[in-house]
Amino acid sequence: MQRRFRIGTRGSKLALIQAHMVADHVGRVLGLAADVACEIVTFKTQGDIEQVRNLSEIGGKGLFTFELEEALHNGGIDLAVHSMKDMPTVLPDGLVIDCILEREDPRDAFISTKGASLAELPRNAVVGTSSLRRGAQVLSKRPDVTIVPFRGNVETRLRKLADGVADATMLAMAGLVRMELEDRATAPLSPDEMLPAVAQGAIGVERRTSDDEAARILAHFHHAESGLRVAAERALLKVLDGSCRTPIAALAEISGKRMSLRAMILTPDGKEVIETSRDGLASDAVAMGVDAGGELKSRAGPHFFTSV
């Protein structure tokens, strides 16, 4: 009898869309309908439950993964689908992510009825975001702006904006595209305006290292170029020991056999910004990330991250 794969996911609309994308891929590999090949199992993570405080205050990225990884370990699910920007750089023993779907638009979306861009917002405007990375980059360009916490899923944050809690917010373009809400974006923010989060727009599939059948199936739809880009950015993040407490931004792009990597660290108030870039062979993705991360760490000095 054909094995039915149990796919674990958070329960938000966007997370379910992403889980069904993976189920569709698995079904195609097996020559079966997605709902025959897979069962979707939803989890409420601590990060979903806590909707008030910033992630930096309550434990960081692992808050979105712990329950899923526990279920993987104990056999409750076979695969876990993650937004890679939510993933810690070190995975639990016995688990691996070796399947990255083709990356969606990694940029941030600017959303506002008060201005067509960040530069056009009125003086002393209020920007809603719980991302230290977004907040720090906003403040580096617009120190007059007030940042207020903005937690919740895509629909919740759009509703808060409509209710006047803030004059503007930013969301990942990838999420808006997957939810067919890209028309809600006032404008995408170029990487020069807002460098994205590490691995933003990328979906990863986590499995048990011992599950050879899952490995074989996932290999059919791993997107190699996206995997290299994510590997470079996450290698940089790992060197910096990055978490939700640290404003870190990075974007790797590939053209032919070449990769370019831009990276930035900031203080949360946006007053200190340290940037670097690399260009090299895409096959050297991890080495480029490690090298760029090492430079940023060296230039920042020992007190930069402790002060953060």
Residue 307 burial (CB count, 10 A): 11
CA 215 from centre of chain: 23
Q: What is the phi-psi region of residue 241: left when phi exceeds 0, alpha when psi lies from -120 to 50, beta otherwise?
A: left
- C-alpha 38/C-alpha 18 separation (Å) is 13
The β-bridge relationship of strands 258-266 and 248-255 is antiparallel
Nearest partner of 80 among 93, 104, 96, 56, judged by Cα: 96
Q: What would the two tokens of residue 118 be?
A: 């960040």
39 in Cβ contact with 5 (< 8 Å): yes
Residue 162 burial (CB count, 10 A): 9
Q: Which residues are catalytic?
A: 86
267 in Cβ contact with 247 (< 8 Å): yes
Q: What is the phi-psi region of residue 31: left when phi exceeds 0, alpha when psi lies from -120 to 50, beta otherwise?
A: left
| Sheet with strand 95-100: strands edge to edge | 38-43, 5-10, 79-83, 203-208, 95-100
108 in Cβ contact with 88 (< 8 Å): no
